[in-house]
């Protein structure tokens, strides 16, 4: 009898766990359905909750990535733009757009990178945090320091042409969108 009750309790617990996991997946509002971004013939559709913005030159695309679809408060910004130079030079320039947080001696201590293929593109992804040196206007414009920021950036190398997808914003916002942005970047075909 004890064995029967133990198995029954285990089965009831398993049923509750499976039901709760199913509900969590069913409640996800993250669906593809936004505009399609094209980089040198490769395309990937963005999530419908990413809000397309008017892209200022040299950017070819711009989006706000809100945590709450009803508010742009604390939204991360995503821009896509062509880049010049080697992949290493572009990654170095992206890292220079951040000052390290107070607990790190250099930006390299808080930066990680990885490489992967997306369609015919070689992609280098970097992830860092600290104080973002936000450039206002053109390259000679004013720089504003914004603390407690994160960046996820992807450098696409497609047939020798380079493009950068840069996502910057509050620490929690970029972290919130990290799995989606990685899945989106890897979906380019």
Note the residue count of the chain: 189
Structural domain boundaries, residue 25? 1-29
Asked if 133 and 146 sit in the same domain, the reply is yes
Pick the range with the lowest mean pLDDT from 6-20, 29-43, 149-163, 172-186: 6-20
For tokens 């039901």, the residue is: 19
Asked if 10 and 50 sit in the same domain, the reply is no
Q: What is the count of structural domains for the chain?
A: 2
> Mean pLDDT over all residues of the chain?
86
Asked if 5 and 97 sit in the same domain, the reply is no
Q: How would residue 31 be classed by pLDDT, with cut points 50, 70 and 90?
A: confident
Asked if 8 and 87 sit in the same domain, the reply is no
Q: How would residue 33 be classed by pLDDT, with cut points 50, 70 and 90?
A: confident
Q: Are 81 and 59 contacting, i.e. CB atoms less than 8 angstroms apart?
A: yes
Asked if 137 and 101 sit in the same domain, the reply is yes
Whether 3 shows a pLDDT value over 90: the answer reads: no
Q: How would residue 137 be classed by pLDDT, with cut points 50, 70 and 90?
A: low
Asked if 5 and 64 sit in the same domain, the reply is no
Whether 26 shows a pLDDT value over 50: the answer reads: no
């Amino acid at each position: 009898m004890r064995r029967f009750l133990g198995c029954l309790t285990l089965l009831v617990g398993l049923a509750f766990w499976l039901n709760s996991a199913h509900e969590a997946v069913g409640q996800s509002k993250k669906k593809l359905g936004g505009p399609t971004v094209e980089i040198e013939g490769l395309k990937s559709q963005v999530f419908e909750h990413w809000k397309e913005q008017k892209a200022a030159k040299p950017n070819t695309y711009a989006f706000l990535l809100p945590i709450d679809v009803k508010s742009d408060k604390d939204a991360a910004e995503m821009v896509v733009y062509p880049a010049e130079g080697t992949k290493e030079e572009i990654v170095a320039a992206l890292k220079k757009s951040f000052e390290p947080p107070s607990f790190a001696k250099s930006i390299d201590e808080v930066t990680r990178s990885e490489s992967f293929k997306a369609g015919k593109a070689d992609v280098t992804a970097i992830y860092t945090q600290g104080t973002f040196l936000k450039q206002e206007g053109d390259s000679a414009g004013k720089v504003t320091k914004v603390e407690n920021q994160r960046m996820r950036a992807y450098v696409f190398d497609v047939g020798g042409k380079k493009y950068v997808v840069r996502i910057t914003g509050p620490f929690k916002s970029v972290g919130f969108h990290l799995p989606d942005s990685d899945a989106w970047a890897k979906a380019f075909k």
